[in-house]
């Protein structure tokens, strides 16, 4: 019988190691929380046959399952993927609750402790198969979309890496390199973002600065993060698209030799990510736990979505409920 063993894990918010413990209203850093739960509860969950699966919302179901969808749709061996997120808003604009803002504030302030935590966990190194994924700059012009892109600061990159590590070490599958990015628009958007980013980084390192950032999120985020969150009209007019560009090797070609000779473009699109797509993703993850129990990892533990659901059918369920996975093109290189 499938056991749900989440009460203790979700009730404990990790401490803010920059200073005093987080207040109840504050959210802990996403990476710290997710990987801290793995370190603290993985063995206990395994002993009890329980499955603790984090990141089952917008971070990181679209990214993690999108990479697996791209892999499954390519005829050959997928070795590298880059994803580009674009959030579109309607005439009412869009905004988000300041809880996400607080996560960013304390997450960036806690980077040193995150590195120490990862050393304790002792992740096995994931080998690079095929051509190494090219390194992108902090800001770059994306020819595919004709706009500028930046690295995605959420947990998608680390979650996908954890999934690929599991799939490689436990199931002997070819690991996929991954890079996550966000499309931000034209040069004006870049200038505004750089100015705001410098100010943010200066303040987040200081206790006084963090207090200012968390007390006045609307001012420091130019109105994007508020204590009230979005209105219904804003949510109705907002949607997201995550585009994946994958490359790999055709059937019969050894990925250890030569350059990639096939590529694929896939897409995940859906409604407003923070308040509409998240509950859809979470519910379908729970349904997969219940209905696809026989296809879950044989051993309980703390898993990422891609590790837990790689043999189940959450993508089929999501497609029926407004979060759609599709193949855009399969051209030869």
Nearest to 168 by CA among 242, 253, 74, 71: 71
Q: CA 323 to CA 291: how far, in whole Å?
A: 19
Cα atoms in the 13 Å half-sphere on the side-chain side of 241: 13
Q: Are strands 177-185 and 76-88 parallel, antiparallel or unpaired?
A: parallel
Indicate the pLDDT class of residue 197, thresholds 50, 70 and 90.
Answer: confident
pLDDT over 70 percentage in the chain: 84
pLDDT score of 30 more than 60: no
300: which 2 tokens? 């309980």
pLDDT on residue 182? 95
Region 173-200 average pLDDT: 90
Q: Is 131 exposed, middle or buried (0-12, 13-18, 19+ CB in 10 A)?
A: middle
Is residue 3 scored above 50 in pLDDT? Answer: no
Which letter does DSSP use for residue 58 in this model? T
pTM for this one?
A: 0.83
Where is 329: in which H helix or E strand? strand 324-329
CB atoms within 10 A of CB 67: 27
């Amino acid at each position: 019988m499938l056991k749900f063993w989440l009460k203790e894990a979700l009730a404990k918010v990790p401490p803010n190691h920059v200073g005093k413990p987080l207040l109840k209203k504050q959210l802990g850093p996403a990476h710290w929380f997710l990987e801290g739960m793995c370190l603290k509860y993985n063995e206990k969950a395994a002993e009890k046959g329980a499955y603790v699966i984090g990141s089952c919302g917008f971070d990181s179901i679209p990214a993690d399952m999108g990479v697996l969808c791209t892999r499954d749709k390519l005829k050959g061996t997928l070795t590298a993927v880059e994803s580009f997120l674009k959030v579109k808003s309607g005439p009412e604009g869009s905004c988000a609750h300041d809880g996400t803002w607080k996560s960013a504030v304390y997450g960036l302030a806690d980077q040193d402790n995150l590195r120490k935590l990862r050393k304790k966990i002792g992740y096995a190194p994931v080998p690079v198969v095929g051509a190494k994924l090219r390194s992108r700059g902090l800001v770059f012009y994306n020819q595919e979309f004709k706009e500028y892109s930046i690295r995605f600061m959420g947990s998608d990159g680390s979650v996908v890496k954890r999934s690929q590590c599991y799939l490689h070490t436990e199931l002997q599958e070819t690991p996929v390199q991954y890079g996550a990015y966000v499309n931000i628009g034209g040069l004006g958007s870049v200038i505004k973002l750089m100015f705001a980013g410098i100010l943010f980084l200066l303040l987040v390192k200081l206790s006084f600065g963090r207090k200012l950032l968390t007390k006045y999120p609307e001012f420091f985020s130019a109105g994007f993060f508020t204590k009230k969150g979005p209105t219904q009209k804003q949510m109705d007019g907002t949607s997201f698209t995550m585009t994946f560009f994958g490359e790999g090797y055709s059937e019969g070609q050894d990925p250890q030799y030569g350059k990639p000779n096939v590529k694929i473009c896939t897409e995940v699109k859906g409604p407003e990510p923070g308040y509409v797509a998240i509950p859809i993703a979470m519910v379908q993850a729970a349904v997969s736990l219940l209905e696809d129990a026989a296809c879950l990892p044989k051993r309980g533990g703390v898993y990422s979505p891609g590790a837990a659901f790689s043999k189940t059918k959450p993508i089929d369920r999501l497609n029926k409920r407004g979060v759609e996975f599709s193949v855009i093109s399969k051209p030869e290189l």
